[in-house]
Amino acid sequence: MNVQPTLRQQLLRRKPLHTFSTEPDEGGLRRTVGPFQLTMIGIGATIGTGIFFLLGTAVPEAGPAVIVSFAVAAVAAALTALCYAELASAVPVSGSSYSYAYATLGEFAAWAVGWCLLLEYAVSGAAIAVSWGQYLNDFTERLFGFRMPEAISAPPGAGGIVNLPGVVLVALCCLLLVRGARESAVVNTVMVLLKLGVLALFVVVGVTGFDSGNLHPFAPMGIAGIGTAAATVFFAFIGLDAVSTAGDEVRDPRRTLPLAIVGALAVVTTLYILVAVVGVGAQPWTAFEGQEAGLSAILGDITGAQWPAALLSAGAVLSIVSVTLVVLYGQSRILFTMGRDGMLPAAFHRVNPRSGTPVFTTLLTGGVVAVMAAVFPLDLLADLTSMGTLAAFAVVSLGVLILRRTAPDLDRRFRVPGHPVLPVLSLLACGYLIYELPLDTYLLFGGWLALSLAVYLLYSRRNSRLQPVPSPAPARAPDPDPDPTAGTLLG
């Protein structure tokens, strides 16, 4: 007879580490993604439109010392990325920090982290997709003198009524993802290489206008300005966690996952710092104030031509496509993993036998993101997304510390250097950034977690694969043969 666990035991039960090694082969997903393609997924999820226009916001905060701000933000991002790399090599499955929390902190912590990731991916995906119409308008106007009406291309609440380009973009990305992970990875790789080429061209052309005199004074806003700008540019590094959502579809995941995370971080950091150095060297730092055109304005001033603006607009358009593709991919795989664990209905874990992809989960994810992009103003949810992201990052750092203690002999192809100092520093960095968020974000986040608790109590805890199945009641033994003389009249 099985004894049903108490609520406390359900909340804290952890998924056994040995189960993670067998689940990917049972799940139906196909291992078709190699190291290079996975690295491109990490780069594609990280380098969005922000770097094309970020200097206009960050340079006025720090002056030329924004170069240091990028370096500081890169160090903060690296702390978390290295923690992701270790856990990805130790727990090489899809699900990102949801799976890592399940192995270290317990079931409800994993559920809450998964809930945070759903918020992060859905809102950020919709926010990215909704801006596609604006960049598409900028690109077509420069080349053909054509613009879509604001009512169908501007964000809802900012002049737009229904954002059709965002819906079309999400639909196209979903169709590609349904075809297969390998096909999606190949298309993403092409787009990432193109936008890397655009940024590399900015660096090469921008160097011709470099003037060291523009670097003086180097830090007009002092140390405080460098810190403020570092917080601004930190979120340009977010996206590396998307690599860890592909664990079930990667060849040799214990080696490939950490290699892709570290490789993507190296490429992104190098490119960002080069862009920052060239940008602040090409024009006085005071000229960045209100410069909405971003990198295209800098190239336009250097070359005196119009082609740089069109080229960088094309880069921004490609960036949005690749980021949207990776965000939808990541969220569908997190939902897939939660369905496999029984935390969501079995339909989320169903894989199409022909394409090897979770079609239902992908289409549902795309539908939700498309609706959000089409009609919902998303400005109010930006800080809430940041809170969810930082909470997931903190869990990963904490997971490294816990697994080193509870499973010291676990197979790890990558180990965070400087343990336990680096994971602790990562935790502190996440805590500091969470502390800086406004009060209303805490209230919204508390409501979001309360909703997650309600769903967990009503459905997930009862359907979890860790929930013991009650043993059937033993059959009642037959009564012993009665005394043939009992109850009879003797005479």
- pLDDT tens sequence across 21-53: 666 655 567 888 889 999 999 999 888 777 877
Q: Residue 485: what pLDDT? A: 40
Give the pLDDT confidence of 386-433 residue by residue, as tens digits: 788 888 889 999 999 999 999 888 888 899 998 899 999 999 988 888
Average pLDDT of every residue of the chain: 85
In sequence order, what are the beta bridge partners of 395?
none
DSSP state letter for 1: -
Cis peptide before 420 (omega within 30 of 0): yes
How would you class 420 by CB atoms within 10 Å of its CB: exposed for 0-12, middle for 13-18, buried for 19 or more? middle
Domain segments of the chain as ranges: 32-463
Q: Is 222 left (phi over 0), alpha (psi -120 to 50) or beta?
A: left
Token pair for residue 17? 């580490």
**Structure confidence at residue 376 (pLDDT):** 81
68-77 pLDDT tens trace:
999 988 988 8
Per DSSP, the residues of 142-193 read: HHHS----HHHHSPBTTTBSS-HHHHHHHHHHHHHHHH-HHHHHHHHHHHHH
CA distance 174 to 59: 37
**Phi and psi at residue 33, in whole multiples of 5°?**
-100, 130
Tell me, what's the pLDDT at 460? Answer: 92
Sign for the pseudo-dihedral over CA of 156, 158, 159, 164:
negative
More confident residue, 294 or 141: 141
pLDDT at 111: 93
* pLDDT over 90, % of the chain: 39
- Cα 81 from chain centroid? 12
Q: Quick one: pLDDT at residue 32?
A: 86
Three-class DSSP category at 356: coil
- Tell me, what's the pLDDT at 7? 79
- Summarize pLDDT for 471-491 with one digit per residue, the tens: 555 555 555 555 444 343 333
Give the pTM: 0.86
* Dist. CA 50–CA 198, nearest whole Å: 14
Question: Is 32-463 in CATH node 3.40.50.1100?
Answer: no
Q: Tens of pLDDT along 316-355?
A: 888 889 999 999 999 999 999 999 999 999 999 999 888 8
pLDDT score recorded for residue 488? 37
